[in-house]
Amino acid sequence: MLKYFSGMLGLDVGIDLGSSNIVVYVKDKGIVFSEPSAIAAKKLPRGEGYEIIAVGRDAKAMLGKVPSGIEAVWPIEGGVIANFDMTQELLRYCLKRVSSNNAFMVHPRVVISIPAEVTGVERKAVIDSTLGAGAGEAYVVEEPISAALGVGLPIDKPNGCMIIDIGGGTSEVSVISLGGVVVSSSLRTAGRMMDNAIINMIRQRYALLIGETTAEEVKNTIGSALPMNPELEMNVKGRDLSDGLPKSDTVSSIEVREAMEPIFIGIEDMVKTALEKMPPELAKDVVDRGIILTGGVALMNGFAERLSRAINTPVVVAEEPLYSVALGVGKILDNLGQMRRVLMSVERGAH
Ligand SMILES: Nc1ncnc2c1ncn2[C@@H]1O[C@H](COP(=O)(O)OP(=O)(O)OP(=O)(O)O)[C@@H](O)[C@H]1O
Ligand SMILES: [Mg+2]
């Protein structure tokens, strides 16, 4: 009955539950919003749960600034749930927001995308928290499959295609052939680790303490993976380590690139190893068809070019790196009948 109604009213929702951003797609509407996957909540006494103070952009703005008693966190770390209750609240907020225009309260059908490398337990946690947040049915799909669909690659062909997704918490390389992930490898070093490397560099070199949000701004504004002409500079504000007072300094793109260097090397090594381990026929396909780079870090100046040089193979940046996974989940929703086979399912009561 429930299924019949949710299908009839058409509330089918696709979610890219990322470590940095949660992107929500509604069938027949497209991407309806994207928000940082941050949440701020006050823990209620006697285990009565949480009172949500802020979600998304507002919560991100509070990170590192909240008074005691309030937690401001990123509940997804390295692509997996690090804080189950908070993740459920984040999903509840998303589902409430997309249901608010519906005259009837329905329990939507939700397809949610997760990294290929997660364990069965982690996958079940995603499904449980989606159902707990009010979904009537919850399905998961592997991120590389949705990313490939999102960038318009034909996933059903026997020719392997490679997707590299560098997000906030995970770097993942996968090869897809005949609708499945045949090779996959991942690191929990990605955009946020780059921000941390920038924080450390600025602390050591300038005795200046900056927060994560400022570091991310530095990375996204002057960060680059290859030398630039001209190199850039940016004024950075923080706290002086010696006297604790506010101070600002000018940081150059050269220093920022050097700070991120070990992370670039780690990602390059991961991709090289994946290529080396691949059966020769598959590697040939990948080289012939080129490699697609997606995830927010794909937007960094020189990143795709550097990767391409490291593996001596063309690397193409997806049209909308921040949205390819959600767009792919949307394609699955648009065609749920045929696409069911790419889903890893668990329905309410079926687990
Ligand atoms: N112009 C840019 N240059 C460099 N990095 C960027 C740029 N724009 C966004 N990013 C980074 O991309 C990351 C977010 O990417 P994305 O939304 O794909 O991650 P996610 O899907 O939330 O995380 P994950 O897939 O790892 O769980 C953040 O670290 C963000 O700072
Ligand atoms: Mg992602």
The enclosing domain of 208 has a CATH number of 3.90.640.10
Query: Which residues of the chain fall short of a pLDDT of 50?
Result: 1-7, 347-351
Question: Quick check: is 163 in a domain?
Answer: yes
30 and 116 fall within a common domain? yes
- Residue list, ligand 1 pocket, CB within 6 Å: 18-21, 79, 167-170, 190-192, 216, 219-220, 223, 295-297, 299-300, 322
Tell whether 27 is covered by a domain: yes
Q: Are residues 274 and 165 in the same domain?
A: yes
Atom of ligand 1 nearest to the CA of 18: 22
**Are both 65 and 100 inside the same structural domain?**
no
204 and 253 share a domain? Answer: yes
Q: In what order do the strands lie in the sheet with 161-166?
A: 180-187, 171-177, 161-166, 291-294, 315-317
DSSP-assigned beta bridge partners for residue 181: 176
Could you tell me which residues are beta bridge partners of residue 22?
A: 17, 35
Rounded to an integer, what distance in angstroms lies between the CA atom of residue 100 and that of residue 141? 26
pLDDT digits (tens, 9 = 90+) for 120-159: 888 898 899 999 999 999 999 999 999 999 999 888 888 8
Neighbours of ion ligand 2 (CB under 5 A): 18, 167
Same structural domain, 167 and 293: yes
Q: What is the pLDDT of residue 208?
A: 98
Regarding whether 250 and 207 lie in a shared domain, the answer is: yes
Identify the pLDDT of residue 274.
94
Among residues 215, 236, 259, which one ends one of the domains? 259
Q: How far apart are CA 55 and CA 91, in angstroms?
A: 10
Please report which ligand is nearest the Cα atom of 146. Answer: 2
On whether both 46 and 28 belong to a single domain, the answer is no
* pLDDT reported for residue 351: 37
* 279-286, long-range: CB < 8 A, 24+ apart: 282/160, 282/175, 282/177, 282/182, 282/183, 285/159, 285/160, 285/161, 285/177, 286/160, 286/161, 286/162, 286/175, 286/313
Domain that holds residue 22: 2-34+81-146+324-347
Question: Can you tell me the distance from the alpha carbon of 205 to that of 220, in angstroms, rounded to the nearest whole number?
Answer: 20
Q: 242, 259, 276 — which closes off a domain?
A: 259
Task: Among 24, 49, 73, identify where a domain stops.
Answer: 73
Please tell me the number of the ligand nearest to residue 321's CA: 1
- 105 and 214 in a single domain? The answer is no
Amino acid at 154: P
Query: Is 204 a domain residue?
Result: yes
State residue 270's pLDDT score.
97
Nearest to residue 271, comparing CAs of 149, 169, 174?
174
Assess whether 120 and 24 both reside in one domain.
yes
Q: Please check whether residues 334 and 310 belong to one and the same domain.
A: no
Residues 27 and 86 in one domain: yes
Looking at the structure, tell me whether residues 128 and 205 fall in a common domain. no
CA distances from 134 to 15, 111, 183 (A): 14, 13, 34
Q: State the distance from the centre of ligand 1 to the C-alpha of 225, rounded, in angstroms.
A: 15
For ligand 1, what atom is nearest to the CA of residue 321?
18
Which CATH number is 104's domain given? 3.30.420.40
Instruction: Give how many domains the chain has, as a whole number.
Output: 4
| Domain assignment present for 151 | no
